[in-house]
Structure 1
Amino acid sequence: MFSKISSSVLEAIGHTPLIELSRIAGEVPGKLYAKAEFMNPTGSMKDRIALKMIEDAEKEGKLRPGSVVIEETSGNTGIGLAMVCAIKGYKFIAVMSEGNSPERRQILQAMGARVELVPQVEGGKPGRVTGEDLALVEKRAEALTEEMGALWVNQFHNPSNCVAHYETTAQEIWQQMDGKIDYFLDVVGTSGTFTGIASALKDKDSKIQCWAVEPATAPVLAGKPVTNPQHVLQGSSYAKVPDLWNSQVCDGYLSVTDGEAVRAARRLATEEGLFCGYTAGGNVAAALRLAGWCDPGARIVTILCDSGMKYLSTDLFKV
């Protein structure tokens, strides 16, 4: 049965399916479930925080008709903000590294955003944005904000980032799983998704184990050395502890290599029909490892962060 007509695309944010990955996890003891966040309107979980951060800024009186909104982004949050700003009538400027996939900047421009590209540091590799690259992006976003008198959303420090996932994503997962969850795991970028969901799930059941996923070459949250900050998990692990990180809701750490993330993303597409990006692949690779040594029947939930459509220019699906 169809629902009522929506007044805008913003009403389509959230309420994404939770899918059992029974084909790729058919031979391991644990049961693996994935929240299909790539089915949000602009193709990523970041739609949720984009709406929440803008609406909270409106409630706080920080925005007025015609205001300019600025954000430093790897692409997905910017695309979500471009959608929200288009509906609400704000001008939006996305500040991003040249190292992020070109599809993201093309989508942003198509949605009416101005894209401010910041060159990578010397020796930077396309598709592998580091903490040093991000520092340059942040510096440019800060300068533009002062120059234009704009609102800098600042997802890396904005508590609404966590609240969005606490109030929506986590509640949906809990309801969809009927409260029967043993493990939750997710790659950490800003930490809004992990901290928000883990906090909510532990408030409901303190026995739920929440594990952070990191690139094998940059496991900074686990307290291990960073051997190479240039990894394929775009939008995650910039080799520094994010401001929104809350170690008290983290029970353990898993790391994945670039190769493991790529192979898992390809398996998601060919075996489960789920066309997702690198970070979703990283989550599933880590979840499969956990499902291999956990108790039989343990229920593991992870996130399919964004659509594979944003990576067609990369090597992710090239054979």
Structure 2
Amino acid sequence: MNAAAVHRDWSAAAIAKIEADFNRSADTHLIPMALPGFPGIDLYFKDESSHPTGSLKHRLARSLFLYALANGWLRADAPVIEASSGSTAVSEAYFARLLGLPFIAVMPASTSPEKIAAIEFQGGRCHLVESACSINSESARLARETGGHFMDQFTYAERATDWRANNNIAESIFRQMAEEPHPVPEWIVCSAGTGGTSATLGRYVRYRRHPTRVLCADPQTSVFFDYYRDACAGCADPAMALAHGSRIEGIGRPRVEPSFIPSCVDAMVRVPDDLSLAAMRHVSAALGRRVGGSTGTNFVGVLRAAQVMRAAGRSGSIVTILCDSGERYAHSYYDPAWYARSGIEVESADYVIARAVAGGVLPPMPECGDLAG
């Protein structure tokens, strides 16, 4: 058998392993949570922390591996390399181990030790760099030097996911909402790391002709909001960049990523870090378990969408994403000393979120797009 045939057979067997793994996995839960200050508005969290690798990125990693295998990019024994602040790398390490492939995660040195430990538990190796802005170039260099494949989630996230069907997150949400009082959400609120989720959600609701709108909540230090605002004005610069990455791990980027598609998003809001983390603490208390910082960012977006609905006299539902568990952030978001070192205020931010949940108004935040409807 020639080398091409051997590679094709190996790829077919690898795809079969991933599909079998998918069949063993149940769908993630849809969890309701009360919004006392917004009667007639129902909130649901799509709990992506219940995936085998504990985050929303499990879906992305599966799609990226299937996409790379179908394109013939992965080879037996050759390493898989990814630029990731943590959760994508945890999930990709899981699939690499499933296929017997070495895995290297290139990530900022500031990544939480819990995420590093999770990657290593899945059999991956962590390659730490000082600057978040250099993880892509360093990943490409390692791929060249090792003969491996740079998965490049930030380029391929939006195209690797089948947004029409195949149990993507959007299809799952609408299927699970079918028996609820307001089965078609007014809003789905997400945040952007690669942009793949917002692209999937936006494409799906248009494809299915739902009136649902997508609100993207961006953390304080990220180019996505500025890029979206400029895209709405017809003057977006894809080369815009920041010197530092986001303090809310897993979302926000210092540069514009190819998978972020502004036209798939109906509106954006920029959320201050102190409010993201206060919202994280509120959701954790309400659900009785810790959630991550990106879920807090999403929840602030939920409150803003709920305020818009209330002002318009509209009832209905809002769905957002519980991205990952807070157990991965014991040494940061759940450590009082981290807040002191980071200069992030806690008490007043907690008050702002509690007041907003009870029906008060959030402080002004930069926003853009079709929020009013």
Structure 2 length as normaliser, TM-score?
0.74
Q: How does 1:254-273 map to 2 (within 5 A)?
A: 254-273=269-288
The reply to whether residue 141 of structure 1 matches residue 143 of structure 2 is: no
Deviation per CA, 1:36-57: give whole Å up to 9, x if none: 0111111101111111111222
Match of 1:63 among 67, 74, 80: 74
Shift of 1:290: 1.5
Match of 2:213 among 204, 209, 215: 209
User: Match for residue 357 of structure 2?
Assistant: none
Q: Which structure shows the bigger proportion of residues in helix conformation? A: 2
Which range moves more in the overlay, 58-67 or 185-194? Answer: 58-67
Does the CA contact (< 8 Å) of 2:221 and 2:252 recur in 1? no
The amino acid that maps onto 2:308 is W
Which range moves more in the overlay, 162-171 or 28-37? Answer: 162-171
Cα 1:7–1:230 change in 2 (3 A) is closer
User: Match for residue 203 of structure 2?
Assistant: 199
User: Which ranges of structure 2 fall in alignment gaps of 5 or more residues?
Assistant: 1-17, 231-239, 338-373
User: Match for residue 152 of structure 1?
Assistant: 150
The amino acid that maps onto 1:170 is A
Q: Higher relative contact order at CA 8 Å, sep ≥6: structure 1 or structure 2?
A: 1
Shift of 1:196: 0.9
User: Match for residue 29 of structure 2?
Assistant: 17
Deviation per CA, 1:226-282: give whole Å up to 9, x if none: 999554321222143321122222111122111211111111111122421000011
Deviation per CA, 1:117-163: give whole Å up to 9, x if none: 1123xxxxxxxxxxxx2x31111111100001111110000156651
Does the CA contact (< 8 Å) of 1:216 and 1:256 recur in 2? yes
User: Which ranges of structure 1 fall in alignment gaps of 5 or more residues?
Assistant: 1-5, 121-132
The reply to whether residue 304 of structure 1 matches residue 322 of structure 2 is: yes
Match of 1:182 among 158, 182, 186: 186
Does the CA contact (< 8 Å) of 1:49 and 1:164 recur in 2? no
User: Match for residue 50 of structure 2?
Assistant: 39
The alignment's C-alpha RMSD in Å is 2.5
Question: 1:96 and 1:245 mapped to 2: Cα distance?
Answer: 20
Question: 2:26 and 2:201 mapped to 1: Cα distance?
Answer: 14
Which range moves more in the overlay, 8-17 or 78-87? Answer: 8-17
Does the CA contact (< 8 Å) of 2:280 and 2:296 recur in 1? yes
Question: 2:299 and 2:46 mapped to 1: Cα distance?
Answer: 11
Question: 2:127 and 2:177 mapped to 1: Cα distance?
Answer: 41
Does the CA contact (< 8 Å) of 2:45 and 2:320 recur in 1? yes
User: Match for residue 276 of structure 1?
Assistant: 291
Question: 2:264 and 2:111 mapped to 1: Cα distance?
Answer: 30
The amino acid that maps onto 1:177 is M
Does the CA contact (< 8 Å) of 1:165 and 1:193 recur in 2? no
Aligned with 1:303: secondary structure? strand
Cα 1:140–1:310 change in 2 (3 A) is same
The amino acid that maps onto 1:195 is A
Question: 1:227 and 1:92 mapped to 2: Cα distance?
Answer: 28
Question: 1:115 and 1:232 mapped to 2: Cα distance?
Answer: 20
Shift of 1:223: 2.7
Question: 1:230 and 1:83 mapped to 2: Cα distance?
Answer: 25
Question: 1:57 and 1:14 mapped to 2: Cα distance?
Answer: 24
Q: How does 1:41-120 map to 2 (within 5 A)?
A: 41-120=52-131
Question: 1:69 and 1:227 mapped to 2: Cα distance?
Answer: 28
Structure 1 length as normaliser, TM-score?
0.86
Structure of higher CA gyration radius: 2
Shift of 1:175: 0.5
Does the CA contact (< 8 Å) of 2:158 and 2:195 recur in 1? no
- Sequence identity percentage: 26
Shift of 1:298: 2.1
Question: 1:315 and 1:75 mapped to 2: Cα distance?
Answer: 15
Does the CA contact (< 8 Å) of 1:14 and 1:48 recur in 2? no
Does the CA contact (< 8 Å) of 1:71 and 1:78 recur in 2? yes
User: Match for residue 170 of structure 1?
Assistant: 170
Question: 1:230 and 1:154 mapped to 2: Cα distance?
Answer: 17
Question: 2:67 and 2:19 mapped to 1: Cα distance?
Answer: 20
The amino acid that maps onto 2:325 is S
The amino acid that maps onto 1:70 is I
Shift of 1:13: 4.5
Question: 1:62 and 1:144 mapped to 2: Cα distance?
Answer: 16
Task: Give the count of matched residue pairs.
Answer: 299
User: Match for residue 28 of structure 1?
Assistant: 38
